[in-house]
Structure 1
């Protein structure tokens, strides 16, 4: 099998569309289709179910995907190992939580880019669960996530910690005990967010079911709705402090007997070659993350 065919196959599998795969790889769609058809012919099995909504993997395609990810990753690793001469350079794909990207990451990136201009650094945000999967499937070289994380294929480095606080806007009435949260809306990131999971677990342990849960894809969306008095959220104190004046935030002192300090971890695949670029990124992140 040609490594280019495997890259094309993986792009189609990840995008769920031959058109999007062609755009991502800067190929014409007909070329993508032909190469996948040739790969299917060579393997004597269909790799995709094709429909109006795009493509999805067959059982054979799923089996090939796991091997293709490893093969392509090893090829990339080989190129890096040969060309890596201890000077950080080349592509570096980093993932981050929305909250980390908003407060901690700008200072880390500023120091890193100033020191290593030859590194082509790209950033992708998501929830802890989303970033975990992207690292495991070799789509990210590393990512900032919230603890706890346990996985035999990952290396974990604790780079800092966040103190979580329950926040509301000035428009909400006073909330002096947990039971009052039953009448409120939780403003949270989509499923897979570790902070959301921590809040929901705490409410469940206190027998509290919130009136409604609203999911958001961005931190700005959550902060704006807190300001408008739509509900409450659990956020890092560093985020709340930065946004306190702009969004008229106030903390709810309902959790005095509970630890809400959560370590921030940088995760990467343990079988991935540790380039100079990522080694220096981890070092600067650990030094620059800052206090909770």
Structure 2
């Protein structure tokens, strides 16, 4: 059995057809078919159910897929460890929550210094990003601190004060209790904090409205659509310009940390090492907030 056989097996399982796998590898279909048949002969069991819609895994195929993913992940780590050089290079996939205000400084410093790294950024909420790091879909992610899975290690980036914000016409906190709550999807750390405050105050928001971007949420609050809970550093200038009003909540709800998480059991390449060094060197620098 060769590693390439396992790679082809995984691709057929993912695509569901020989044709799809052949296109992905730029192989002829007969090559894919023969490699799958060879693997089934070596293991003495069918790995796929063949039907008119394509191919689906048998119970034995599903079992092999679990081991195959582990084997190929370890192989990739082995190659990184053996080929590791002092100069970071290769692909680096990083996740982030929308409100990581220090992120542009960190990314800019890293990309300018290490030009051989192909860095890609993926936005999401904390719970989703945590799952993606655990499942090796991301090399690391900037998220809000929580009780993480034991397979993750967290590096502190900065601490924030969260504030409840409303349009400039609303002066008292009591006036906001029935306002619509504008937020990101479930799994957002800021949303969880405000929901905890609502719960402890026996408040039920009249409406919860989910948005995809921070800018849309802030614009909507400024227009009087509802309230939201965000880091003070991202909106202080909007208050200074008279666009919104800030409302403080008790420390147990408002104090929150942003951290960088990665898997604890993966090989720490020079690329990740230098990325963490860049975080440490830039996390305390001042940044320009979002403006509109």
Correspondences of 1:142-291 after superposition (within 5 Å): 142-170=140-168, 173-177=170-174, 180-241=175-236, 244=239, 248-253=243-248, 255-256=249-250, 258=252, 260-290=254-284
- 2:128 match: secondary structure: helix
Residues 157-209 of structure 1 deviation map (CA, whole Å, 9 limit, x = unaligned): 11222211111123x533332xx444211111111111111111110111000
Change (3 A) 1:291 1:220: same
Say whether residues 1:44 and 2:46 are aligned partners.
yes
Q: Which has the larger radius of gyration?
A: 2
Q: Scaled by the length of structure 1, what TM-score is found? A: 0.80
Task: Report the Cα distance in structure 1 between the residues aligned to 2:24 and 2:193, rounded to whole angstroms.
Answer: 39
- For 1:197 and 1:55, how far apart are their aligned partners in 2? 41
RMSD of aligned alpha carbons: 3.7
In the alignment, which residue of structure 1 is the partner of 2:116?
118
1:77 aligned residue: 77
Cα 1:29–1:267 shift into 2, 3 Å: farther
Partner of 2:290: none
Q: Where in structure 1 are there 5+ consecutive unaligned residues?
A: none
Q: Does the residue aligned with 1:217 lie in a helix, a strand or coil? A: coil
How far residue 91 of structure 1 moved from its aligned partner, in angstroms, is 1.3
Deviation (angstroms), 1:221: 2.1
Query: What per-residue deviation string (whole Å, max 9, x for no partner) do you get for residues 197-255 of structure 1?
Result: 111111011100000111112212212221221111111112223555689222123x1
- In the TM superposition, what whole-angstrom CA distance separates every residue of 1:108-151 from its partner, at most 9, and x where no partner exists? 01111111111111111111111111111111111111111332
- The change in CA–CA distance for 1:36 and 1:228 in structure 2 (over 3 A counts) is farther
Aligned to 2:129: 131
Distance in 2 between the 1:39 and 1:12 partners? 14
Q: SS state of the match for residue 226, structure 2?
A: coil
TM-score by length of 2: 0.80
Q: Work out whether residues 160 and 291 of structure 1, in 8 Å CA contact, stay in contact via their aligned partners in 2.
A: no
User: What residue number does 1:96 align with?
Assistant: 96
Aligned to 1:98, the other structure's residue is in SS state coil
Task: Name the SS of the counterpart of 2:99 in structure 1.
Answer: helix
Shift of residue 64, structure 1, vs aligned partner? 4.5
Describe the shift of the 1:85–1:79 C-alpha distance in structure 2 as closer, same or farther (beyond 3 A): same
Per-residue CA shift, 1:12-55, capped at 9, x if unaligned? 777x8779x7699575896898599759956524489997xx99
2:11 and 2:36 mapped to 1: Cα distance? 15
Aligned length: 282
Q: Where does structure 2 lack aligned partners over 5 or more consecutive residues?
A: 287-292
